[in-house]
Chain A
Amino acid sequence: MTDSTSYPRRDWPRLFLSLPPQQIKEAVRTLTESCRVDDQALPQSGLALLQLRDGALAEPYYIGETPLSRAQVTIIDKNGKKGAGAAQILDDRASLARDIAILDAMLANRLNGHQIIEHLLEEGAHQLARNEASRRVILDRTRVDFALLDATAEDNEI
Protein backbone atom coordinates (compact mmCIF):
# COMPACT_ATOMS: atom_id res chain seq x y z
CA MET A 1 0.00 0.00 0.00
CA THR A 2 1.34 3.37 -0.96
CA ASP A 3 0.96 6.12 1.53
CA SER A 4 -0.69 9.16 -0.04
CA THR A 5 2.21 11.25 1.17
CA SER A 6 4.40 9.43 -1.37
CA TYR A 7 2.94 11.74 -3.97
CA PRO A 8 2.62 15.40 -3.16
CA ARG A 9 -0.81 16.96 -3.73
CA ARG A 10 0.64 19.14 -6.49
CA ASP A 11 1.12 15.99 -8.59
CA TRP A 12 -2.26 14.37 -7.99
CA PRO A 13 -4.09 15.86 -10.98
CA ARG A 14 -1.19 15.00 -13.25
CA LEU A 15 -1.20 11.41 -12.05
CA PHE A 16 -4.98 11.09 -12.42
CA LEU A 17 -4.86 12.67 -15.88
CA SER A 18 -2.38 10.07 -17.07
CA LEU A 19 -5.07 7.39 -16.59
CA PRO A 20 -8.00 6.79 -18.95
CA PRO A 21 -10.88 9.12 -17.96
CA GLN A 22 -13.23 6.15 -17.95
CA GLN A 23 -11.14 4.50 -15.23
CA ILE A 24 -11.35 7.66 -13.11
CA LYS A 25 -15.08 7.88 -13.69
CA GLU A 26 -15.64 4.27 -12.66
CA ALA A 27 -13.53 4.65 -9.53
CA VAL A 28 -15.39 7.80 -8.49
CA ARG A 29 -18.76 6.15 -9.12
CA THR A 30 -17.83 3.27 -6.86
CA LEU A 31 -16.26 5.45 -4.17
CA THR A 32 -19.18 7.85 -3.92
CA GLU A 33 -21.91 5.23 -3.70
CA SER A 34 -21.98 5.61 0.06
CA CYS A 35 -20.99 9.28 0.24
CA ARG A 36 -22.73 12.59 -0.04
CA VAL A 37 -21.10 14.93 -2.55
CA ASP A 38 -22.01 18.63 -2.62
CA ASP A 39 -20.75 20.95 -5.31
CA GLN A 40 -19.47 24.17 -3.79
CA ALA A 41 -19.74 25.75 -7.22
CA LEU A 42 -21.06 24.44 -10.49
CA PRO A 43 -18.32 22.55 -12.32
CA GLN A 44 -17.18 24.81 -15.16
CA SER A 45 -15.52 24.32 -18.50
CA GLY A 46 -13.94 27.16 -20.41
CA LEU A 47 -10.57 28.66 -21.20
CA ALA A 48 -7.43 29.78 -19.42
CA LEU A 49 -5.25 32.51 -20.84
CA LEU A 50 -1.71 31.17 -20.64
CA GLN A 51 0.86 33.65 -19.44
CA LEU A 52 4.56 33.05 -20.11
CA ARG A 53 7.69 35.05 -19.46
CA ASP A 54 9.72 35.82 -22.56
CA GLY A 55 13.34 34.73 -22.65
CA ALA A 56 14.82 37.98 -23.95
CA LEU A 57 13.58 40.78 -21.70
CA ALA A 58 11.78 38.67 -19.06
CA GLU A 59 8.47 40.36 -19.80
CA PRO A 60 5.18 38.50 -19.31
CA TYR A 61 2.92 37.98 -22.32
CA TYR A 62 0.01 35.76 -23.33
CA ILE A 63 0.92 32.99 -25.78
CA GLY A 64 -2.71 31.90 -26.23
CA GLU A 65 -5.44 29.97 -24.47
CA THR A 66 -5.91 26.43 -23.25
CA PRO A 67 -9.04 24.54 -22.26
CA LEU A 68 -9.69 24.59 -18.53
CA SER A 69 -12.20 22.86 -16.32
CA ARG A 70 -12.65 23.30 -12.61
CA ALA A 71 -14.73 21.98 -9.79
CA GLN A 72 -14.94 22.26 -6.03
CA VAL A 73 -16.77 19.82 -3.78
CA THR A 74 -17.33 18.80 -0.20
CA ILE A 75 -17.87 15.18 0.72
CA ILE A 76 -19.29 13.48 3.76
CA ASP A 77 -18.33 9.84 3.87
CA LYS A 78 -20.34 7.01 5.37
CA ASN A 79 -18.64 7.56 8.75
CA GLY A 80 -19.77 11.18 8.78
CA LYS A 81 -16.30 12.52 8.14
CA LYS A 82 -16.29 15.65 5.99
CA GLY A 83 -13.68 17.02 3.61
CA ALA A 84 -13.28 19.54 0.82
CA GLY A 85 -11.49 19.13 -2.47
CA ALA A 86 -11.03 20.91 -5.78
CA ALA A 87 -9.45 20.56 -9.18
CA GLN A 88 -8.38 22.74 -12.08
CA ILE A 89 -7.25 20.82 -15.13
CA LEU A 90 -6.26 21.70 -18.71
CA ASP A 91 -9.15 19.78 -20.21
CA ASP A 92 -12.59 20.78 -21.43
CA ARG A 93 -14.48 18.08 -19.56
CA ALA A 94 -16.05 19.62 -16.47
CA SER A 95 -17.18 16.16 -15.38
CA LEU A 96 -13.56 14.99 -15.31
CA ALA A 97 -12.57 18.02 -13.21
CA ARG A 98 -15.39 17.14 -10.80
CA ASP A 99 -14.22 13.53 -10.59
CA ILE A 100 -10.69 14.67 -9.80
CA ALA A 101 -12.00 17.18 -7.24
CA ILE A 102 -13.81 14.29 -5.52
CA LEU A 103 -10.64 12.21 -5.47
CA ASP A 104 -8.73 15.25 -4.18
CA ALA A 105 -11.21 15.69 -1.34
CA MET A 106 -11.20 12.03 -0.35
CA LEU A 107 -7.44 11.67 -0.47
CA ALA A 108 -6.54 14.95 1.22
CA ASN A 109 -8.95 14.27 4.07
CA ARG A 110 -8.36 10.53 4.15
CA LEU A 111 -12.03 9.82 3.82
CA ASN A 112 -13.40 6.32 3.58
CA GLY A 113 -11.99 4.62 0.47
CA HIS A 114 -8.85 6.72 0.15
CA GLN A 115 -6.76 3.57 -0.11
CA ILE A 116 -8.37 2.86 -3.49
CA ILE A 117 -7.36 6.30 -4.66
CA GLU A 118 -3.80 5.68 -3.58
CA HIS A 119 -3.81 2.69 -5.90
CA LEU A 120 -4.98 4.98 -8.67
CA LEU A 121 -2.10 7.34 -7.92
CA GLU A 122 0.26 4.40 -8.11
CA GLU A 123 -1.14 3.37 -11.49
CA GLY A 124 -0.95 6.93 -12.70
CA ALA A 125 2.67 7.13 -11.61
CA HIS A 126 3.49 3.99 -13.59
CA GLN A 127 1.79 5.38 -16.68
CA LEU A 128 3.55 8.70 -16.26
CA ALA A 129 6.87 6.91 -15.88
CA ARG A 130 6.22 5.15 -19.20
CA ASN A 131 5.47 8.48 -20.88
CA GLU A 132 8.57 10.06 -19.40
CA ALA A 133 10.69 7.10 -20.46
CA SER A 134 9.55 7.42 -24.06
CA ARG A 135 10.53 11.10 -24.07
CA ARG A 136 13.84 10.24 -22.47
CA VAL A 137 14.52 7.70 -25.22
CA ILE A 138 14.11 10.48 -27.77
CA LEU A 139 16.67 12.57 -25.89
CA ASP A 140 19.05 9.63 -25.47
CA ARG A 141 18.85 8.56 -29.10
CA THR A 142 19.42 12.05 -30.43
CA ARG A 143 22.02 13.40 -28.04
CA VAL A 144 24.84 14.92 -30.06
CA ASP A 145 28.26 13.55 -29.33
CA PHE A 146 30.54 16.31 -30.55
CA ALA A 147 34.13 15.44 -31.24
CA LEU A 148 36.95 17.13 -33.03
CA LEU A 149 37.18 16.15 -36.65
CA ASP A 150 40.38 14.12 -36.28
CA ALA A 151 39.03 12.37 -33.19
CA THR A 152 35.68 11.40 -34.64
CA ALA A 153 34.86 7.92 -33.51
CA GLU A 154 33.64 5.48 -36.08
CA ASP A 155 30.65 4.56 -33.96
CA ASN A 156 29.30 8.08 -34.38
CA GLU A 157 29.12 7.58 -38.12
CA ILE A 158 25.92 6.33 -39.65
Chain B
Amino acid sequence: MGYVAIKGGGIAIKGSLEALEALRAAEGEQGVPLSLSAIENQLRLLTSRIVSEGGLYHPRLAALAIKQMQGDTLEAAFALRACRSTKPRLLATPVQETSRMRVIRRISSAFKDIPGGQMLGPTYDYALRLMRIDLSDEAPEVFRTIAAKFMGETPAGNLPETFPKVVDALRNEGLLPQAPARAIEPFDITREPLIFPIPRSAILASMARAETGSLLALAYSNMRGYGDVHPTIAELRVGYLPVFLPHPITGEEIEAGEVLITECEVVAMYENSDNKSKPVFTLGYGACFGHNETKAISMAILDRALQKGMKEGPANPSEDPEFVVLHIDGVDSMGFANHYKMPHYVTFQSDMDRLRTTQAKAESKQGNEK
Protein backbone atom coordinates (compact mmCIF):
# COMPACT_ATOMS: atom_id res chain seq x y z
CA MET B 1 0.00 0.00 0.00
CA GLY B 2 1.38 3.39 -0.93
CA TYR B 3 1.08 6.74 0.71
CA VAL B 4 -2.21 8.59 0.38
CA ALA B 5 -0.76 11.89 -0.73
CA ILE B 6 -3.08 14.71 0.15
CA LYS B 7 -2.92 18.45 0.28
CA GLY B 8 -5.26 21.25 1.17
CA GLY B 9 -6.69 22.55 4.40
CA GLY B 10 -4.67 25.76 4.43
CA ILE B 11 -7.71 27.96 4.01
CA ALA B 12 -9.61 25.99 6.63
CA ILE B 13 -6.72 26.34 9.09
CA LYS B 14 -6.63 30.08 8.52
CA GLY B 15 -10.37 30.19 9.02
CA SER B 16 -10.15 28.19 12.25
CA LEU B 17 -7.64 30.67 13.70
CA GLU B 18 -9.93 33.53 12.73
CA ALA B 19 -12.86 31.69 14.33
CA LEU B 20 -10.86 31.33 17.55
CA GLU B 21 -10.14 35.03 17.56
CA ALA B 22 -13.78 35.84 16.78
CA LEU B 23 -15.00 33.76 19.73
CA ARG B 24 -12.47 35.48 22.01
CA ALA B 25 -14.08 38.79 21.08
CA ALA B 26 -17.64 37.48 20.82
CA GLU B 27 -18.97 39.97 23.36
CA GLY B 28 -18.85 42.50 20.55
CA GLU B 29 -19.50 46.13 21.35
CA GLN B 30 -20.23 45.32 25.00
CA GLY B 31 -16.86 43.65 25.44
CA VAL B 32 -13.81 44.93 27.29
CA PRO B 33 -10.46 43.30 26.45
CA LEU B 34 -8.86 41.61 29.46
CA SER B 35 -5.85 43.53 30.68
CA LEU B 36 -2.78 41.51 31.63
CA SER B 37 -2.77 43.23 35.00
CA ALA B 38 -6.35 42.06 35.63
CA ILE B 39 -5.42 38.48 34.78
CA GLU B 40 -2.24 38.60 36.84
CA ASN B 41 -4.02 39.96 39.90
CA GLN B 42 -7.62 38.77 39.75
CA LEU B 43 -6.70 35.33 38.40
CA ARG B 44 -3.50 35.12 40.41
CA LEU B 45 -3.83 31.42 41.21
CA LEU B 46 -4.31 30.61 37.53
CA THR B 47 -1.27 32.75 36.72
CA SER B 48 0.62 30.89 39.43
CA ARG B 49 -0.25 27.62 37.82
CA ILE B 50 1.04 28.72 34.45
CA VAL B 51 4.37 30.11 35.71
CA SER B 52 4.94 26.84 37.50
CA GLU B 53 3.86 24.49 34.70
CA GLY B 54 5.58 26.65 32.11
CA GLY B 55 8.79 26.49 34.14
CA LEU B 56 9.34 30.23 33.77
CA TYR B 57 8.64 32.73 36.53
CA HIS B 58 7.25 35.52 34.42
CA PRO B 59 3.74 36.34 35.70
CA ARG B 60 3.10 38.94 33.02
CA LEU B 61 3.95 36.61 30.15
CA ALA B 62 1.91 33.91 31.87
CA ALA B 63 -1.05 36.30 31.95
CA LEU B 64 -0.56 36.94 28.25
CA ALA B 65 -0.48 33.20 27.58
CA ILE B 66 -3.72 32.75 29.53
CA LYS B 67 -5.35 35.50 27.50
CA GLN B 68 -4.05 34.20 24.19
CA MET B 69 -5.05 30.60 24.93
CA GLN B 70 -8.43 31.67 26.25
CA GLY B 71 -7.88 30.09 29.65
CA ASP B 72 -6.58 26.70 28.52
CA THR B 73 -3.90 25.95 31.15
CA LEU B 74 -2.10 23.30 29.12
CA GLU B 75 -1.87 25.50 26.03
CA ALA B 76 -0.83 28.50 28.12
CA ALA B 77 1.99 26.54 29.78
CA PHE B 78 3.00 25.29 26.32
CA ALA B 79 3.16 28.87 25.01
CA LEU B 80 5.26 29.98 27.98
CA ARG B 81 7.69 27.11 27.46
CA ALA B 82 7.89 27.87 23.75
CA CYS B 83 8.67 31.48 24.61
CA ARG B 84 11.41 30.51 27.07
CA SER B 85 13.00 28.25 24.48
CA THR B 86 13.69 31.30 22.31
CA LYS B 87 15.67 33.08 25.01
CA PRO B 88 19.34 32.64 25.81
CA ARG B 89 20.36 31.14 29.12
CA LEU B 90 22.60 33.71 30.76
CA LEU B 91 23.44 31.91 33.97
CA ALA B 92 22.48 29.41 36.63
CA THR B 93 22.09 31.06 40.00
CA PRO B 94 24.03 30.02 43.07
CA VAL B 95 21.98 27.88 45.46
CA GLN B 96 19.24 30.00 47.04
CA GLU B 97 18.16 29.18 50.57
CA THR B 98 14.39 29.15 51.06
CA SER B 99 14.84 30.05 54.73
CA ARG B 100 15.20 33.59 53.34
CA MET B 101 11.66 33.52 51.97
CA ARG B 102 9.55 36.59 52.81
CA VAL B 103 6.54 34.73 54.03
CA ILE B 104 2.87 35.62 53.51
CA ARG B 105 1.53 32.29 54.73
CA ARG B 106 2.91 29.47 56.85
CA ILE B 107 1.09 26.66 58.53
CA SER B 108 1.90 23.35 60.11
CA SER B 109 -0.38 20.41 60.74
CA ALA B 110 2.27 18.74 62.89
CA PHE B 111 2.53 21.30 65.69
CA LYS B 112 0.38 24.24 66.66
CA ASP B 113 3.25 26.10 68.32
CA ILE B 114 5.78 26.34 65.55
CA PRO B 115 8.66 28.80 66.03
CA GLY B 116 7.38 32.21 64.92
CA GLY B 117 3.74 31.13 64.93
CA GLN B 118 1.26 30.14 62.26
CA MET B 119 -0.16 32.65 59.77
CA LEU B 120 -3.00 31.54 57.58
CA GLY B 121 -2.34 34.19 54.95
CA PRO B 122 -4.60 34.25 51.89
CA THR B 123 -6.36 30.87 51.72
CA TYR B 124 -9.65 29.28 50.74
CA ASP B 125 -9.12 26.57 53.37
CA TYR B 126 -11.73 28.07 55.67
CA ALA B 127 -13.95 29.71 53.06
CA LEU B 128 -17.43 28.45 52.43
CA ARG B 129 -17.79 26.87 49.02
CA LEU B 130 -20.95 28.83 48.39
CA MET B 131 -21.36 30.99 45.33
CA ARG B 132 -20.87 34.67 46.04
CA ILE B 133 -23.59 36.07 43.86
CA ASP B 134 -22.48 39.62 44.64
CA LEU B 135 -19.35 39.08 42.53
CA SER B 136 -21.48 38.57 39.43
CA ASP B 137 -22.26 42.27 39.31
CA GLU B 138 -19.37 43.91 41.11
CA ALA B 139 -19.29 47.69 41.17
CA PRO B 140 -15.86 48.94 40.01
CA GLU B 141 -15.79 51.71 42.62
CA VAL B 142 -16.34 49.19 45.43
CA PHE B 143 -13.85 46.75 43.91
CA ARG B 144 -11.14 49.41 43.89
CA THR B 145 -11.44 50.05 47.63
CA ILE B 146 -11.24 46.45 48.88
CA ALA B 147 -7.46 46.12 49.11
CA ALA B 148 -6.93 49.59 50.55
CA LYS B 149 -9.63 48.94 53.15
CA PHE B 150 -7.99 45.67 54.20
CA MET B 151 -4.56 47.26 54.48
CA GLY B 152 -5.90 50.35 56.19
CA GLU B 153 -7.80 48.55 58.91
CA THR B 154 -4.70 47.10 60.51
CA PRO B 155 -1.51 49.00 61.20
CA ALA B 156 1.44 46.90 60.14
CA GLY B 157 2.86 45.17 63.19
CA ASN B 158 6.42 44.23 63.81
CA LEU B 159 6.36 40.65 62.66
CA PRO B 160 9.51 39.59 60.86
CA GLU B 161 9.62 38.91 57.13
CA THR B 162 11.34 35.57 57.50
CA PHE B 163 10.72 32.69 59.85
CA PRO B 164 12.74 29.68 60.95
CA LYS B 165 11.84 26.46 59.19
CA VAL B 166 9.89 23.88 61.16
CA VAL B 167 12.07 21.04 59.88
CA ASP B 168 15.13 22.73 61.36
CA ALA B 169 13.46 22.68 64.77
CA LEU B 170 12.63 18.99 64.31
CA ARG B 171 16.23 18.31 63.32
CA ASN B 172 17.47 20.10 66.41
CA GLU B 173 15.26 17.83 68.51
CA GLY B 174 16.76 14.77 66.85
CA LEU B 175 13.48 13.74 65.22
CA LEU B 176 14.79 14.07 61.66
CA PRO B 177 18.06 13.00 60.12
CA GLN B 178 20.68 15.71 59.84
CA ALA B 179 20.94 17.03 56.30
CA PRO B 180 24.27 18.71 55.70
CA ALA B 181 24.26 20.87 52.57
CA ARG B 182 25.53 18.84 49.66
CA ALA B 183 27.49 20.23 46.76
CA ILE B 184 25.98 18.18 43.96
CA GLU B 185 25.65 19.52 40.43
CA PRO B 186 21.89 19.45 39.82
CA PHE B 187 20.39 17.85 36.72
CA ASP B 188 19.11 20.30 34.12
CA ILE B 189 15.98 18.76 32.61
CA THR B 190 15.78 21.49 29.95
CA ARG B 191 19.14 20.51 28.46
CA GLU B 192 19.73 16.82 29.23
CA PRO B 193 17.57 13.84 28.23
CA LEU B 194 15.99 11.79 30.99
CA ILE B 195 17.74 8.41 30.87
CA PHE B 196 16.71 6.27 33.81
CA PRO B 197 17.78 5.92 36.53
CA ILE B 198 17.84 9.68 37.01
CA PRO B 199 19.10 11.62 40.04
CA ARG B 200 16.69 13.05 42.57
CA SER B 201 17.43 16.60 41.37
CA ALA B 202 15.97 15.63 37.97
CA ILE B 203 12.87 14.27 39.67
CA LEU B 204 12.41 17.42 41.75
CA ALA B 205 12.88 19.64 38.69
CA SER B 206 10.40 17.55 36.67
CA MET B 207 7.82 17.70 39.43
CA ALA B 208 8.32 21.44 39.95
CA ARG B 209 7.07 22.10 36.41
CA ALA B 210 4.62 19.19 36.26
CA GLU B 211 0.94 19.57 35.54
CA THR B 212 -0.88 20.06 38.83
CA GLY B 213 -3.68 17.56 38.14
CA SER B 214 -1.29 14.83 37.04
CA LEU B 215 0.86 15.29 40.12
CA LEU B 216 -2.22 15.29 42.34
CA ALA B 217 -3.62 12.12 40.73
CA LEU B 218 -0.44 10.13 41.36
CA ALA B 219 -0.01 11.49 44.88
CA TYR B 220 -3.68 10.71 45.53
CA SER B 221 -3.13 7.09 44.52
CA ASN B 222 -0.49 6.90 47.25
CA MET B 223 -2.76 8.62 49.78
CA ARG B 224 -5.64 6.24 49.05
CA GLY B 225 -3.64 3.10 49.63
CA TYR B 226 -1.37 2.44 46.65
CA GLY B 227 1.52 3.48 48.84
CA ASP B 228 2.23 4.16 52.49
CA VAL B 229 3.62 7.65 52.94
CA HIS B 230 0.95 8.76 55.46
CA PRO B 231 2.17 12.35 55.42
CA THR B 232 1.89 15.07 58.02
CA ILE B 233 2.63 18.59 56.85
CA ALA B 234 5.58 19.83 58.88
CA GLU B 235 5.33 23.18 57.14
CA LEU B 236 3.61 24.71 54.17
CA ARG B 237 4.80 28.20 53.31
CA VAL B 238 4.05 30.70 50.62
CA GLY B 239 6.18 33.75 50.09
CA TYR B 240 8.63 35.75 48.08
CA LEU B 241 12.09 34.31 47.76
CA PRO B 242 14.80 36.92 47.26
CA VAL B 243 17.25 35.85 44.58
CA PHE B 244 20.86 36.84 45.23
CA LEU B 245 23.45 37.00 42.49
CA PRO B 246 27.07 38.08 42.67
CA HIS B 247 27.71 41.65 41.59
CA PRO B 248 29.53 41.38 38.23
CA ILE B 249 32.29 43.71 39.40
CA THR B 250 32.66 43.29 43.14
CA GLY B 251 31.38 39.72 43.50
CA GLU B 252 29.30 40.94 46.44
CA GLU B 253 25.95 39.23 46.89
CA ILE B 254 23.24 41.48 45.42
CA GLU B 255 19.48 41.01 45.49
CA ALA B 256 18.38 40.77 41.85
CA GLY B 257 14.66 40.40 42.50
CA GLU B 258 12.23 38.06 44.18
CA VAL B 259 10.11 35.11 43.14
CA LEU B 260 6.80 33.93 44.62
CA ILE B 261 7.03 30.25 45.55
CA THR B 262 5.12 27.64 47.51
CA GLU B 263 7.12 25.16 49.55
CA CYS B 264 6.09 22.13 51.56
CA GLU B 265 7.85 19.57 53.73
CA VAL B 266 5.93 16.51 54.80
CA VAL B 267 6.98 14.23 57.62
CA ALA B 268 6.43 10.57 56.87
CA MET B 269 6.62 7.52 59.09
CA TYR B 270 9.91 6.85 60.76
CA GLU B 271 12.24 4.24 59.46
CA ASN B 272 13.80 1.50 61.53
CA SER B 273 17.48 1.97 61.31
CA ASP B 274 19.62 -0.85 59.96
CA ASN B 275 22.80 0.34 61.59
CA LYS B 276 21.59 0.70 65.18
CA SER B 277 21.44 4.49 64.94
CA LYS B 278 18.43 6.28 66.41
CA PRO B 279 15.23 5.88 64.36
CA VAL B 280 14.05 9.18 62.90
CA PHE B 281 11.18 10.46 60.80
CA THR B 282 11.64 10.78 57.04
CA LEU B 283 10.78 13.78 54.89
CA GLY B 284 9.29 14.56 51.51
CA TYR B 285 9.81 17.89 49.79
CA GLY B 286 7.79 19.90 47.29
CA ALA B 287 8.11 23.39 45.84
CA CYS B 288 6.91 25.25 42.81
CA PHE B 289 6.72 28.74 41.38
CA GLY B 290 3.68 30.77 42.36
CA HIS B 291 1.00 30.05 44.92
CA ASN B 292 -0.09 26.45 44.38
CA GLU B 293 -0.47 24.47 47.58
CA THR B 294 -2.08 21.38 46.08
CA LYS B 295 0.90 21.00 43.80
CA ALA B 296 3.53 21.50 46.52
CA ILE B 297 1.84 19.00 48.84
CA SER B 298 1.42 16.44 46.05
CA MET B 299 5.05 16.87 45.06
CA ALA B 300 6.21 16.39 48.66
CA ILE B 301 4.23 13.16 48.99
CA LEU B 302 5.56 11.85 45.68
CA ASP B 303 9.11 12.82 46.60
CA ARG B 304 8.86 10.73 49.75
CA ALA B 305 7.26 7.83 47.84
CA LEU B 306 9.98 7.97 45.19
CA GLN B 307 12.75 8.08 47.78
CA LYS B 308 11.40 4.76 49.03
CA GLY B 309 11.04 3.39 45.52
CA MET B 310 14.62 4.30 44.63
CA LYS B 311 15.92 2.73 47.82
CA GLU B 312 13.88 -0.46 48.04
CA GLY B 313 12.38 -0.82 44.57
CA PRO B 314 8.90 0.39 43.64
CA ALA B 315 5.93 -1.49 45.08
CA ASN B 316 3.36 0.98 43.69
CA PRO B 317 3.18 3.26 40.64
CA SER B 318 3.79 6.36 42.77
CA GLU B 319 7.09 4.87 43.95
CA ASP B 320 8.42 4.27 40.44
CA PRO B 321 10.50 7.25 39.19
CA GLU B 322 10.09 6.31 35.53
CA PHE B 323 6.32 5.92 35.84
CA VAL B 324 5.89 9.17 37.75
CA VAL B 325 8.30 11.44 35.89
CA LEU B 326 7.18 10.34 32.43
CA HIS B 327 3.48 10.87 33.15
CA ILE B 328 3.29 14.21 34.95
CA ASP B 329 4.32 16.68 32.31
CA GLY B 330 1.33 18.58 30.98
CA VAL B 331 2.86 19.69 27.71
CA ASP B 332 4.13 16.19 26.91
CA SER B 333 0.89 14.41 27.76
CA MET B 334 -1.34 17.05 26.17
CA GLY B 335 0.72 16.82 23.00
CA PHE B 336 0.43 13.06 22.87
CA ALA B 337 -3.32 13.09 23.48
CA ASN B 338 -3.92 15.77 20.89
CA HIS B 339 -1.69 14.28 18.23
CA TYR B 340 -4.44 11.69 17.74
CA LYS B 341 -6.45 14.46 16.07
CA MET B 342 -3.87 14.66 13.31
CA PRO B 343 -4.49 12.66 10.11
CA HIS B 344 -3.70 8.98 10.58
CA TYR B 345 -5.04 8.09 7.16
CA VAL B 346 -2.17 5.80 6.22
CA THR B 347 -1.99 3.84 9.45
CA PHE B 348 -5.77 3.55 9.64
CA GLN B 349 -5.98 2.30 6.04
CA SER B 350 -3.42 -0.29 6.99
CA ASP B 351 -5.56 -1.29 9.98
CA MET B 352 -8.60 -1.54 7.70
CA ASP B 353 -6.71 -3.66 5.19
CA ARG B 354 -5.68 -6.06 7.94
CA LEU B 355 -9.24 -6.23 9.28
CA ARG B 356 -10.69 -6.92 5.84
CA THR B 357 -8.12 -9.63 5.20
CA THR B 358 -8.89 -11.22 8.56
CA GLN B 359 -12.62 -10.96 7.89
CA ALA B 360 -12.15 -12.59 4.48
CA LYS B 361 -10.14 -15.40 6.04
CA ALA B 362 -12.80 -15.91 8.71
CA GLU B 363 -15.57 -16.02 6.08
CA SER B 364 -13.54 -18.43 3.98
CA LYS B 365 -12.94 -20.66 7.02
CA GLN B 366 -16.64 -20.61 7.91
CA GLY B 367 -17.50 -21.51 4.27
CA ASN B 368 -15.10 -24.44 4.34
CA GLU B 369 -16.57 -25.73 7.63
CA LYS B 370 -20.07 -25.72 6.11
Contacts and interface: CB of A to CB of B under 8 A. Distances in A.
Given A56-B284, A139-B119, A48 B201 contact: no
B104 A86 contact: no
A144 B31 CA distance: 43
A46 B249 contact: no
A59 B243 contact: no
Nearest to A90: B257
B92 interface: yes
Interface string A1-40: 0000000011111100100000000000000000000000
Interface residues of B, number: 88
A14 B255 contact: yes
Interface stretch (A61-69, A112-120, A149-157): A61-69
Contacts of A49: 89, 91-93, 188, 190
A50 B243 contact: yes
Given A46-B90, A84-B249, A135-B102, A59 B184 contact: yes
Given A49-B188, A90-B257, A137-B154, A66 B243 contact: yes
A90 B289 CA distance: 14
Contacts of B150: 137, 141
B119 A58 contact: no
A91 B121 CA distance: 27
A48 B104 contact: no
B58 A44 contact: no
Interface in B233-254: 240-245, 247-250, 252-254
A10 B252 contact: yes
Interface size class of A (residues with CB under 8 A): 35 or more
Interface in A77-94: 84-92
Contacts of B120: 142, 144
18 contacts: A9-B247, A10-B253, A48-B90, A49-B89, A50-B57, A52-B97, A58-B179, A60-B183, A65-B57, A88-B256, A89-B256, A91-B257, A133-B151, A136-B159, A139-B119, A142-B119, A142-B120, A144-B119
Interface of B: 51-52, 55-58, 84, 87-98, 102-105, 112-113, 117-122, 150-151, 154, 156-159, 161, 165, 167, 179-190, 200-201, 204-205, 208-209, 240-245, 247-250, 252-259, 261, 263, 265, 283-285, 287-289, 303-304
Closest 7 pairs (CB-CB, A-B): A90-B257, A56-B283, A56-B285, A133-B156, A86-B248, A58-B179, A46-B88
